[in-house]
A = this chain, B = another copy of it.
Amino acid sequence: MRLATIRTPGGTRAARVDPITGDATLLEGSSLRAVLDQPGWRHSIPTIEGPVLASDDVRFAPVVPDPDKIICVGVNYRAHIEEMGREIPAHPTYFAKYRRALIGAYDSIRLPDSDVSTMIDWEGELAIVIGQPARNASPSEAAAAIAGFCVLNDVSARDWQRRTIQFLAGKTFEAMTPVGPWITTSDEVGVSPSLDIRTEVDGVTKQSSNTSDLVFGPVDIVQDLSRIITLDPGDIIATGTPSGVGFARSPQEFLGPGSTVSVIIDTLGSVRNICEAS
């Protein structure tokens, strides 16, 4: 099942997206978060009926536009760790984003003014969306808490990320993080999916890996985070990026006005975004 948040003339709405036609059945709630907050959603939502929007009219908002938390995992693909010159870590590295960083799967990325940042880089990622609360979770509880997965581009301002020892500033620029287009629920892809992931810039492949190269998989991450804090339905967890980011290239490469960047994950779909000067 594919679940999303879409834009309608009356505001955003949760929706179930038909995997064949792309048509969207509108659900109750202005955000997918409201659906995932209903304990029985896995059973009730597949067959629920509602107004249908034809695929041509579907406009994707961020998959959850109003998550309680956006948690990002850094240094989590073996090959990316090697390219950044780091050791394989003993624990997941976490940092945050705020809600205002999120954009829809096909929205424009709003580049900062050039006097603010000129080092805007891509990071294609598999994202987990939480479907039930998790606190001090066992492995099976962590698995059950995963609603499904989607695609996220953790677009980063490298100058701000490295301005201090903490990544946050470079990771939460307004309207630069596409997420979506929909979640594919875990009953279809499992909770530890092995999926090809690829990032393209202007049609050229820059990152190409498989989510099986993750050092810490989705269940590990959810279990570990749940020792710190309760995870809530709608929380988004970006699991880290594979090798091939622009910052680590020689010479370095960055996104500029007019760049088109796509992240494609097998089975889950893709986000594709044009960079616009602000």
Contact = CB atoms under 8 A, between A and B. Distances in A.
Interface of A: 68-69, 71, 74, 89-96, 98-101, 112, 116, 135, 160, 163-169, 172-174, 227-230, 232
User: Which 5 pairs show the lowest CB-CB distances between chains A and B?
Assistant: A96-B96, A93-B164, A174-B229, A94-B168, A91-B163
Contacts of A116: 227
A90 B166 CA distance: 13
Contacts of A99: 68-69
Nearest to A74: B166
Given A69-B98, A74-B164, A93-B165, 4 more contacts: A74-B166, A89-B164, A93-B166, A169-B228
Contacts of A228: 160, 169, 172-174
Interface majority SS (helix, strand, loop, mixed), chain A = loop
Nearest to A232: B100
Contacts of A90: 163
A93 B165 CA distance: 7
A89 B164 CA distance: 8
11 contacts: A68-B98, A91-B169, A93-B165, A95-B168, A96-B96, A96-B98, A112-B227, A166-B167, A169-B228, A174-B228, A174-B230
Contacts of A165: 93, 165
Nearest to A96: B96
Contacts of A92: 164
A91 B168 contact: no
Contacts of A91: 163-164, 169
Contacts of A167: 166
Contacts of A93: 164-166
A94 B229 contact: no
B166 A98 contact: no
Given A91-B163, A163-B91, A168 B96 contact: yes
